[in-house]
Amino acid sequence: MTPETAATPPLSLPPELLDAVRRIAGTDHLLVAMDFDGTISPIVDHADAARPLQRSAAAFAELAKLPRTTTALISGRALASLRAVASPPEATLLIGSHGAEAWMGPGSAELQLDDAQRELLAEVREVLAGISQEAPGTVLEDKPAGVVLHTRRADDDVAEDAVAAARAVLEGRPGVFLKNGKRVLETSVVHSSKGEAVEFLRQATSATGILFAGDDVTDEDAIARLGAADVGVKVGLDFTQAEFRVEAPVHVAELLEAVLRERRREVSGDSSHM
């Protein structure tokens, strides 16, 4: 049984979300910006094993080919990791490390740390390595500007203690930024947020409407930056400021297919692809 067929929740999007899809599909320049883990891909135990649902990947790839339409992934992952697991279409813009890294096409500048940040990152890594060593089931994930403490495969009490120990040392430390995620504690020596990433992409693409979907607490920063012309969708049952909600990544596939259908109709009269 694949993750796509396992315990699939009932499908079909709420009518008000379908109305919003029809509305945003009519915008002049559409930006379809998606979170990756928990949105395009179901959450899995091993970060390296995450893959997009096939239906989502297919609809997203078709959207990337349409005129007046830009696709983007806005992820907490490092760009290299995002590329490896998502295999995004060539035209898709990529935001990694919660906004600290950006790939806007060939020649995009790489994230550079100064000496102080590099030193701090090494210290953060040492702290987390010490904690992880004593906490069975936890693992570290390295990023260009940070280290993630993964606790998904640890017992709950071990996970809680490990995160508490990391917070006790790193919280409030100048130059170190912490974020909660799904069974992870994210650390970074660069301040970033998905909210800033959404604003950056809006400016860079001159989008007149943004469709964003995300499942995690860090995605709320992006959702908070959406305006009346945009559509924000929460994936899952946790608290959200988003106007719309779907239950699981399989519904994101439905959402992307609906956007593709409506957007194709909208741009069918355009003579050339941008």
Ligand X SMILES: O=P(O)(O)OC[C@H]1O[C@H](O[C@H]2O[C@H](CO)[C@@H](O)[C@H](O)[C@H]2O)[C@H](O)[C@@H](O)[C@@H]1O
83 binds ligand X (CB under 6 A): no
Q: Minimal distance in Å, beta carbon 225 to ligand X?
A: 15
- Candidates 27, 32, 38, 66; binder of ligand X (CB under 6 A) is 38
Q: Give residue for tokens 């930024």.
A: 177
240 binds ligand X (CB under 6 A): no
182 binds ligand X (CB under 6 A): yes
CA–centroid distance for 126 within its chain: 27
- Candidates 93, 177, 185, 186; binder of ligand X (CB under 6 A) is 186
- Candidates 61, 77, 207, 222; binder of ligand X (CB under 6 A) is 77
134-153 residues near ligand X, rule: CB under 6 A: 141, 148, 150, 152
Q: Which of 241, 119, 74, 98 is nearest to 177 (CA)?
A: 98
Stretch in the footprint of ligand X (CB under 6 A) among 29-37, 57-65, 235-243, 254-262: 29-37
Q: Which of 41, 57, 39 is nearest to 49 (CA)?
A: 41
196-225 residues near ligand X, rule: CB under 6 A: 216
Cβ-based nearer residue to ligand X, 16 or 45: 45
75 binds ligand X (CB under 6 A): yes
- CA distances to 10, 128, 178, 213 from 157, in Å: 34, 17, 20, 31
What does the binding site for ligand X look like in residue numbers (CB under 6 A)?
Answer: 35-38, 43-45, 47, 50, 75-77, 141, 148, 150, 152, 181-184, 186, 216
